[in-house]
A and B are shown apart, each in its own frame.
Chain A
Amino acid sequence: MTETVEHLRDFNYYKLNQNVTHVLAEYIWIDGTGERMRSKTKVYLTPITQISDLEWWTYDGSSTEQANTKWSEIYLKPVVYVKDPFRGDPHILVLCETYLPDKKTPARYNFRWIANEIMEKAKDFKPWFGIEQEYFLLKRTGTTHIWPLGWPTGGFPYPQGRYYCSIGERNNFGRALAEAHLRACLNAGIKIAGINAEVAPSQWEFQIGIAEGIEIGDHLWLARYILERLGEEFGIDINYDPKPILGDWNGSGAHTNYSDVKTRGEGGYKYIVEQLIPLLSNTHKEVLKLYGANNEKRLTGHHETSSYDQFSWGDGSRGGSIRVPVITKELGAGYLEDRRPAANIDPYLVSAVIVDVALLNSTYVNQLKQLLVQSAKPLA
């Protein structure tokens, strides 16, 4: 909301001198909504060369819906750091897990700890991920009304069909933001694999991958952080709602591409079709709860989605829950695409449950669901 004041969008309005040796560490965490991130800056007087140089920190959990006022301290445990693409070298972004003061009990909406456990157990199978994160760009009028960027206020543009991977003034909205995001992620060292304009006007997608195990969650959350911060500079909202606009407009998903040594090895395609897909089919109703709140509004069977309550799959088909790409069939081995997850997922949960179902006999599925249900309960 800083539109009318000059310079207030220029994060680098004032430059740090060359001879200042401090390192600015931006500690980032997931808040009590499970969908948004928060961050604050810590000034370090010494260089940071490894994760153990970064200290645990605390914050006011009662201001982020993760604690009440009486016992408000939440601890931040640094787990991954990347370069800060906004402040430049040597400054860093530090992704953190959140804990209660005993430093052992995870705070509300911290799912990384259990995803990490699961990935450790399954690490010999080398589970690889690529996630296609879709999102809408929204422009705010006043402080309340939001509508997609480029859409006529209070109205609708031409129907879909012309916007996917489009170029040109009439069909492509917000490329500068998507491009800035791509570059910022690359500068930071995030494993971003590509971008494209999506089917709905003002909808975009970026892909994170190939990431192994816990990396996918880390890189996706950091990429989201960078996108939201860029949105600030452009004055644009980032929206991950599975179905932001009702009607004949696409929703936003986070299709998750998956493979492991079994699917990538000899006979992988057969393994996928005969063993893996049945496993996924059997657990469909259970895992869907972890695939994004309000996802039923998006998985309608139209707009290249499958129906919410039915499991289906097909070679090269975009109308099923799972798509097995034609190349996997052709090569006899490769990966599959789970098209069920919505754009607002927690990637730790989704990657963990896929690994659990595929490799660990679904031993954790119930626990993962429980954790999500617990986090979703309002604070006592």
Chain B
Amino acid sequence: MTETIENLRDFNYYQLSKAVNNTIVLAEYIWIDGSGESLRSKTKVYQTQIKTLEDLEWWTYDGSSTDQAVTRFSEIYLKPVRVIKDPFRGDPHILVLCETYLPDKKTPARYNFRWIANQIMEKAKDHKPWFGIEQEYFLLKRTGTTHLWPLGWPTGGFPYTQGRYYCSIGERNNFGRALAEAHLRACLNAGIKIAGLNAEVAPSQWEFQIGIAEGIEIGDHMWLARYILERIGEEFGIDINYDPKPILGDWNGSGAHCNYSTLTTRSEGGYRYIVDKLMPILKENHLEMIKLYGQKNELRLTGRHETGKYDQFTWGDGSRGCSVRVPIITKEQGQGYFEDRRPAANIDPYLVSAALVDVTCLNGEHLKQLNSIFEDSLKPLGQQIFQQQKEQFQQQNQ
């Protein structure tokens, strides 16, 4: 709500002196909070150079303020797992993506799914699973402190119907390009594997693509790209929204279509393997996997607006009305990738990438575990977690 105060949006209003810039490294520790959808971060000042991940220490924060712990046992530990350049502060400063742990440094905190995704990716690494995710999102403008409506839409009303906005140019059809462009550039500056950008079907809806990333990288790069987008939204005074269906009615929802391939799908006979082996496997596991594909996704997967139905698994060559689309180029070349169109924009990419790899490369051994971990995180903080943390606290004191 800093609209009315000049300069409050200029993050680089005040410059660090060269001398300071040469000796200090500002490390922004980033983590996923207790909502599973938002990111938090705080800054640590290092007096030394940071060359590798090992130069960064574990840190702690107040988990009771992020819905990840109770007041009595509030410490949550941050374990640095990936470092990239900070596109906001510039060289040599960094963004540090972290995993969250309870004080025993072994039990993952609420909504930390990276640890198990990593395990799954390690097990399946000879399959070389590659991902490309198309993250859609809406730009919302806040009026006052409560009312949110998409940027450019008339307040309390609707613009012209969809059809004209996808990849549009021009004043009447394109809203917020400067923000989307700033995000693209910031990600490139940071070293994020961003592959492209386009305006989407709904007015004020955009999409960026992260890929090609192997294994655990996809989750890391996606979360970091989301962090950068949200921070840029701050500078413009715009909200970023990943709701699968933010506006009811004849308006598209937001998805995170997941393009996927493995060594087998990319080799000779890959297309047949996808059609004859993988599609049936995905169909069989549909109802289990869809639980990991985003909260409230059923509002989005209606069978209309280029989606497949929530409770049915379908697939097609080149069709956008299904759960899975096998691109024409995969069919033509006899090998390649396919597109899982089911995931919503608000997914945790660690969960989705892990589930896909588990089901296609590891016989679905971990699917039940993924689901149960996910469900545990959904439970409100309460007795169970309180008990868990109390036990650990007691153990440590012994």
Chain A interface (Cβ within 8 Å of chain B)?
1-2, 4-17, 20, 22, 24, 36-43, 58-60, 62-65, 69-73, 101, 140, 142-143, 225, 228-229, 231-232, 234-238
Contact A24 B171 (CB under 8 A): no
Measured in the bound complex, the distance between the Cα atoms of B329 and A71 in whole Å is 13
Q: Can you report 22 A-B residue pairs in the complex whose CB atoms are below 8 A from each other?
A: A1-B153, A1-B159, A1-B175, A8-B176, A12-B181, A13-B178, A13-B181, A13-B182, A14-B182, A16-B188, A24-B184, A38-B169, A69-B320, A71-B319, A73-B327, A101-B328, A142-B154, A143-B152, A225-B169, A229-B170, A234-B171, A237-B171
Residues of B within 8 Å of A11, CB to CB, are 177-178, 181
Closest-by-CB residue of A relative to B305 is: A69
Contact B236 A14 (CB under 8 A): no
Measured in the bound complex, the distance between the Cα atoms of B189 and A228 in whole Å is 28
Assess A72 versus B328: contact at CB under 8 Å? Given A8-B179, A228-B170.
no
Chain B interface (Cβ within 8 Å of chain A)?
3, 9, 141, 151-154, 157, 159-160, 162-164, 166-172, 174-179, 181-186, 188-189, 194-199, 201, 232, 235-238, 306, 316, 318-321, 327-329
Residues of A within 8 Å of B328, CB to CB, are 58, 73, 101
Min Cβ gap A5→B in Å is 6
Residues of B within 8 Å of A64, CB to CB, are 166-167
Measured in the bound complex, the distance between the Cα atoms of B328 and A59 in whole Å is 12
Most buried by A among B153, B163, B320: B320
Contact A60 B306 (CB under 8 A): yes
Min Cβ gap B242→A in Å is 20
Closest-by-CB residue of B relative to A236 is: B171
Closest-by-CB residue of B relative to A57 is: B196
Residues of A within 8 Å of B196, CB to CB, are 40-43
Contact A6 B237 (CB under 8 A): yes
Residues of A within 8 Å of B189, CB to CB, are 16-17, 20
Measured in the bound complex, the distance between the Cα atoms of B179 and A60 in whole Å is 23
From B168, B178, B316, A8 is in contact (CB under 8 Å) with B178
Measured in the bound complex, the distance between the Cα atoms of B194 and A228 in whole Å is 26
Residues of A within 8 Å of B166, CB to CB, are 38, 60, 63-64
Min Cβ gap A93→B in Å is 11
Contact B9 A7 (CB under 8 A): yes
Contact B188 A22 (CB under 8 A): yes
Residues of B within 8 Å of A7, CB to CB, are 9, 178, 235-236
Q: Number of A-B pairs whose CB atoms are under 8 Å?
A: 153
Contact A69 B195 (CB under 8 A): no
From A4, A63, A140, A143, B163 is in contact (CB under 8 Å) with A63
Residues of B within 8 Å of A9, CB to CB, are 178
Measured in the bound complex, the distance between the Cα atoms of B182 and A20 in whole Å is 14
Measured in the bound complex, the distance between the Cα atoms of B170 and A58 in whole Å is 22
Min Cβ gap B137→A in Å is 16
From A16, A38, A42, A65, B168 is in contact (CB under 8 Å) with A38
Contact A5 B238 (CB under 8 A): yes
Closest-by-CB residue of A relative to B154 is: A143
Contact A237 B172 (CB under 8 A): yes
Min Cβ gap A170→B in Å is 25
Measured in the bound complex, the distance between the Cα atoms of B306 and A71 in whole Å is 11
Residues of A within 8 Å of B179, CB to CB, are 8
Contact B185 A15 (CB under 8 A): yes
Measured in the bound complex, the distance between the Cα atoms of B78 and A195 in whole Å is 61
Min Cβ gap A72→B in Å is 5
Closest-by-CB residue of A relative to B160 is: A143
Contact A37 B178 (CB under 8 A): no
Residues of A within 8 Å of B175, CB to CB, are 1-2
Assess A36 versus B164: contact at CB under 8 Å? Given A8-B236, A9-B178, A20-B188.
yes
Most buried by B among A1, A12, A17, A20: A1
Contact B320 A72 (CB under 8 A): yes
From B171, B174, B320, A60 is in contact (CB under 8 Å) with B320
From B174, B198, B318, A41 is in contact (CB under 8 Å) with B198
Residues of B within 8 Å of A16, CB to CB, are 185, 188-189
Contact B167 A39 (CB under 8 A): yes
From B153, B171, B197, B237, A232 is in contact (CB under 8 Å) with B171
Contact A14 B186 (CB under 8 A): yes
Contact A231 B167 (CB under 8 A): no
Closest-by-CB residue of B relative to A11 is: B178
